[in-house]
Each structure stands twice: as C-alpha cells, then as structure tokens.
Structure 1
Amino acid sequence: MKKIGFSGTLDPITNGHMWVINEARSLADEVVVFLSENPAKKPKFSAEERKSIISLSCTEQGWHNVSVVIVRGDYTARAAKKQGVECLIRGIRTTADFDYENLIQQTNVDVLQGAKTVFVMPPRDLGSVSSSFVKALEGPIGWNWIMKKFVPGPAYHAWVLSWLRKEWETLWDYEHRDATAIAHADDWFARLTGPDCYGGAARYYHNLDHLVHGLCEIRVWAGNMRPDPADVDIIKQAFWFHDAEYGHHGDPAAATNEEASAQMWLGSHLGQEMDDAAELIRATDHFQEAAITHRLKDVLLSVDLAILGQDDEVYQNYARAIRQEYSHMADDVYREQRGAALAHLCRKAQQGLLFGNAYFAEQYNERAIDNMQREMARLAAG
C-alpha cells in the first residue's frame, strides 16, 4: 500500500495514537495524519499547535514518512480520498469503540464515497489511553509525572507549558493588566521556561517538572490551610525564581544560586513590592538555614522538599534526575556525597525537623524517611 491515513482531533496526541501511527507505517510507504478541526469542539491546542506537536513527536521517533494535514470544512474520509488515500486506520480498544467506528466506516464509504477503514487493536497497556483520559489526569499533586507516561515528549512539553502559562497569567493578573505589563510578563515567562532557565536541556531535576510539582504543592497547601492570599502570591513568586539560576559554581567568590536567583527576581521588575520575595528566595539556601529568616521560609522549604515524600515511582524519577544533574561526578564520589546528604536529611526527618511546616510534615515526613533509606541502601550496594 502506498498511502494510509490516520485521523482524529489528537488533543493531545497520546502514546496510543503513536502506536496506531506506527502500525500504519508497517502497512504503507507513507502515513498521512488528518487532523480534524471541528468548530463545535474547544480543543486545548489550536490546529497548528497540534500539527507541530504531532510532527515533532514523529520526528523524535525517527519516523520521516509521516506527514500531517489539517482538514477544514470537509469530512476526513472525503478529504483523504481527494489526496489519494484509499484507507484510513483506526484503533479499536473496546466493543463500544467497534460499534462506533463501524458506523463511521459505513457512513464514510456509503454516504461520502470516502476512504475505507482498517481496524487494529492496541496492546493491553495502551487500551485505556485516550486524549480524554490524559486530560482527566491534570490537577492533583503529581499529575505531571503520571501524564508523562502516556504521551510523547513534545505533547508533554506543550501541555506542561500550557499549564504553567495559566499559573503565570493568574499570578500576574493578566485580566486586569495593560498591554505593556502583559508583554513584559510574557517576556519573563518565556525566559523562565526557556533554555537558559527551567527549560534547559541540562536541567534534569530543577526543570519544568519541578516548577509544576512545586506550584501544585503550593496550591494544595493554600487550599487546605487558607493563608493570606498575599502570602501565597509571595511564595509563588519566590518559587518561580528560586532555582532560575542554577549551576555548579567553582569560584568561591561567585554568588550562590539563591543570591543570583534573587537578583534575577529583583531585576525583573514584575511586582511593586519585590524585596519580600527576594528575601524568601535567599532563605531557600540550605547551607544558610540558620542565618536567613523569613516568616514564609518554612513553607517554601517544605514545598521544595516535598518531592522526598512522594510515592515510589515519582521518587525514583526524582532520584534518577538528581543523578543526571550531577553526571559530572564519578559514581563513587556521587554515591558518597549523595549518601551523606541523604543521611543528613533523613536524620532531620527522624527528629521531626525536615519539614518546618506542620502541614507538610504530616503529609510527607514518614514517607520521606522510607524513600531516603531505600535510596541510601541502593547507593551503599553500588
């Protein structure tokens, strides 16, 4: 077969869709993805954004025989046939899927004189993966780590940026800002999520995932504890910037990451009162815990350390990311230094001192001890 088509809204494309596309590649020389633009639907991503995400996802897999066409104002099966595509491919996960797809197939051929349909059945682990399923994951703490398992990298990256964008716009009250202020905030969002900050390729842990997880922790804490909304904004401002500057400084005279991040925040001129959040950023310096005080310090540090108390899968992702972030260290040196850091944190947790905020201590302290002890055992075993 020369050409085969695959159609859908694909908002977002999932690993289930990617499996079907790959099956199509085994049946034809060329695969055309027909991306339907339905005015009745309100997709998360525009048609052009979805086209880019699909193209990037296929390129990431090395699939160079896949093209994407946006269908506007026509039935997909009819548009496919006009482009020389005689067959479409669809994934069937359940009997309900079959009944629906069979009806669509009959309509496509008998009514529209469009392309016929070939059905394939995905493997069991992808049987429940759909765009609706993925969308339903968003929200609770750890949603991003779960979603990552079900969508290709470019789709995940686009989704996380979209989520962070909403958080950013809410923080800076875009609805009531003028065009100049919004443009300024837009520039800073692009900078913070871009390659020189949290979006950097070498950011294995202090990255966009870290931003999403921490902001979710802050949201849930605020929802449970009902603090002053002004304090919540200060914590969010500090969290957005607290690891913006991150590196391995060899010069003892150089500014710490925390001080450099505080200076970046002050230089952003995003708010009217900047000093409070700057001091809170400085307070995240774990090497100066006793020296720097701030009324919100315990909350922000607890947010930062909450990753230690997550379920095993999330913790394992975190531990692997930390190892990658310190890939410049030899294994024996890393095991020694990481083990010492974990032993210090574990002792603090056992003494009830790891999480300075009572809410986070109740949520995460015991699990953090278990996670760190298991990691220390693995490090000791080599």
Structure 2
Amino acid sequence: MKAIAFSGTLDPITNGHMWVIGEARALADEVIVFLSENPFKKPLFPAEDRQRIVERSVAERGWTNVRVIVVRGDYTARAAKRHGIDYLIRGIRNTADFDYENLIQQANVDVLHGAKTIFVMPPRDLGSVSSSFVRGLQGPVGWHWMTRQFIPGPAYQEWVLAWLRTEWRALWPGEDQWFERLTGPTAYGGPDRPYHNLDHLVHGLTEIRIWAENTGSTPEDMAVLKKAFWFHDAVYIHGPQEVSNEEASARLWLGSGLPDARADEVAALIRATDHFQTEAINHPLKPAMLGADLAILGQDPQQYDSYAAAIRQEYAVVPDPVYREHRTRALRTLRDKAARAELFTDAWFASLYSERARENLERELHSLE
C-alpha cells in the first residue's frame, strides 16, 4: 500500500496513538496523520502545537515516513480521498469502540464516499489509554508522574511547560521573559538537572496548592510560597562557590525586578530551603515551604528510588566512594530529623509524609552502607 491515514484530535497524542501509527507504518510506505480541529471542543493544545508535538514524537522514534496535516472544516475520510488515500486506520480498544467506529466507517463510505477504515486492536497495556483519560489525571499531587507513563516524551514536555506557564502568569502576568529564563537551559530546563528540574517545579507547586486547599491558607500566602518555590533552585551549581545556591537564588529573585510587595519574605523562604543551615531563618510559612521541597522523601518507594537515582546522576562526576560518604551523611541527618518528628514541621505535610519518608531514608541508607 502506498499510503494510509490516521486521524484524530490527538489532544494530547498518547502511546496508544503512537502504537496505531507504528502499525500503519507496517502496512504502507507513507503514513499521513490528519489532525482534526473540532470547534466544539476546548483543546488542551491549539492545532499548530499538536501538529508540532506529533511531528516531534514521530521524529524521536526515527519515523521518517510520517507526515502531519491539520484538517479544518472537513471530514477526515473525505480529506484522505483528496490526498489520494483509500484507507484510514483506527485503533479499537473494546466493543463500544467498535460499534462507534463502525458507524463512522459506514458514514465515511456510504455518505461521504470517503476512505475505508482498517481496524487494529492495541496490546492489553494500551487498551485503556485515551487522550481524555490522560487529561483527567491532571490535578492531584503526582499527576505529572502519572501522565508521563501514557504519552510520548515531546507531549509530556509540552504539557509540563504549558501547565507551568499558566501557573507563572497567575503570579506575574506580562512577565514572560523570566518564565523563559527559569524554564530554559540555564535553569530548571537544563540538561544537567536530572532532579532539580521542571518536574521538581511541578511537584512543589502542586504540593503548595494542595496544602493551601487543605489548611485554609490565604491566596496571598499561597502566592508567596509559590513565588519562593519558583526561584528556590534557580541557581544550582555543583562545587565551591562564594555563596550557597540558595543565597544565590535569593539574590537572583531580589534582582529580578518582578513586582511583589512581599519580596523580602519570598527571599527568606528561598534561603530557608538550605536544609542544613535554616535555623536562623524564621517565617510562619517556612514549615510549609520546607514541606513542599522535601515532599519527595515521602513518596511511594518507586518514585523515591527514581529521585535517589536522579540525585546520583546530578553528581555523576563525583567518584562513587566520595558520593556514598557525603550522601550517607546527608541521609543520616534527614533520618535523625525524621526520628525526632522534625523533618516535616508543618502538620499537613507531617501527616502525609513523615512515616514514608523515614522508611525511604532508612532503605536508601541501607543500600549505601
């Protein structure tokens, strides 16, 4: 077969969609992805962004025989015929999918005189994956870890950036130059940040929102915490330096020119994230700030292990014996704080994460000793 088409809104494209495209490549020399735009749906991404995401996703897999075309104001079966394509390919996850797609297929052929449809069944692990399912995961703590399992890397990256941009503009509308800087390669978007990266931002900002919703915090206090979290790891340099990363990040914030009547409070909370030198810093929001920053310690063992592995990657240049010595020392300090119920001093974070954090720290220590 010379060409075959796959169509959908792909908002976002999922691993299930990618599987169907892969099957299409086995059937034809060229695959055309018709990306439909439905005026009655509010998309997560505009059509042009979805086109770019699909193109990046197929390029990531080395698929050079896939093209993406946005279809506006037409049926994809009819658009396929205009491009000389006689067959569409669709994934069928269950009997309900088949009944629906069969009706569409009949209308395509009998009413529109468009392309016919070939149905394929995805493997069991992709049987429940759809764009609507993935979009429904957004919100709770850890939503980004969940969605990452079901969508290709480029879709995940675009989603995280879009989410972060919305968060940023709620705090600093019209100040996107600093958003680009903080999410770019010299800060959280840098390739040398396996852990202190955009994912860490998403996690911490989500933790702060959930904390505020459950503790009756004021919107103003939540905003101060979020602003501090945006900047708290803006500077993250390994090796000797004149001031700590936290101090350098606080100074970057104070010199940013971003408007805030509580700028000094934000700076104090940034400095407070130096977890081994925080005793001199007092602020009523400090326990919540540290709770959000350390919340990773209280996640499930799989997520904690991913965090621990990412920290090791960040110090990849450090010889293993030296790393084990310094990491062990840091973990013992944190474990001892956990044993004294001092690791999470905010009641909300303590109730969620204290016990699991102690278990995770003990387990990593055992692996290092």
Name the TM-score, length of structure 1 as normaliser: 0.93
Q: 1:263 aligns with which of 236, 248, 251?
A: 251
Structure 2: distance between partners of 1:287 and 1:347: 13
Please give the alpha-carbon distance, in whole angstroms, between the structure 2 residues aligned to 1:249 and 1:278: 23
| Residue identity (%) | 64
The residue correspondences of 1:17-36 to structure 2 (distance < 5 A) are 17-36=17-36
The equivalent of 1:10 in structure 2 is 10
Q: How does 1:52-71 map to 2 (within 5 A)?
A: 52-71=52-71
**Counterpart check, 1:51 vs 2:63:** no
TM-score, reference length from structure 2: 0.97
Contact 2:24/2:89 (CA < 8 Å) preserved in 1?
A: yes
Corresponding residue to 2:359 among 370, 373, 376: 370
- Structure 1 residue runs without a partner (length 5+): 175-181
SS in 1 for 2:85: coil
Equivalent residue of 2:364, what SS? helix
Equivalent in the alignment of 1:341? 330
Where do 1:111-122 residues align within 5 Å? 111-122=111-122
Whichever residue aligns with residue 58 of structure 2, its letter is: C
Which residue in 1 is equivalent to 2:281?
Answer: 292
Runs of 4+ in 1 over 3 A off after TM superposition: none
- How far off is 1:332 after superposition? 3.0
1:315 aligns to 2:304 (yes or no):
yes
Residue of structure 1 equivalent to 2:260: 272
What pairs up with 1:102-117 in 2 under 5 angstroms?
A: 102-117=102-117
Q: Is the 8 A contact 2:271 2:278 kept in 1?
A: no
For 1:117 and 1:378, the matched residues in 2 are separated by 54
CA RMSD of aligned residues (A): 1.3
Structure 1 residue 350 displacement after superposition: 0.9
How much has 1:98 moved relative to structure 2? 0.4
- With over 3 angstroms needed to count, the CA separation of the structure-2 counterparts of 1:81 and 1:379, relative to structure 1, is farther
Counterparts of 2:310 and 2:47, CA distance in 1: 33
Other-structure match for 1:90 = 90
**What whole-Å deviation, never above 9, does each CA across 1:198-225 have from its counterpart, x for those lacking one?**
1112111111110111011111111111
**1:216 and 2:216 equivalent?**
no
> Partners of 1:57 and 1:310 in 2: how far apart?
29
Q: Deviation per CA, 1:136-178, whole angstroms, max 9, x where unpaired?
A: 0000001111111000111011111111122112223x4xxxx
Could you tell me how far apart the structure 2 residues matched to 1:64 and 1:336 are?
A: 48
Can you list the C-alpha shifts for 1:259-294, whole angstroms capped at 9, x where unaligned?
111111112221232211112211211231223333
Q: Structure 2 CA distance, aligned partners of 1:85 and 1:375?
A: 56
Distance 1:15 1:87 in 2: 22
Counterpart Cα distance in 1 of 2:328 and 2:96 = 52
Rounded Cα–Cα distance in structure 2 between residues aligned with 1:200 and 1:304: 19
- Is the deviation greater in 315-324 or in 3-12? 315-324
Measure the CA separation in 2 of the matches of 1:106 and 1:35: 21
- Residue identity opposite 1:92 in structure 2: I
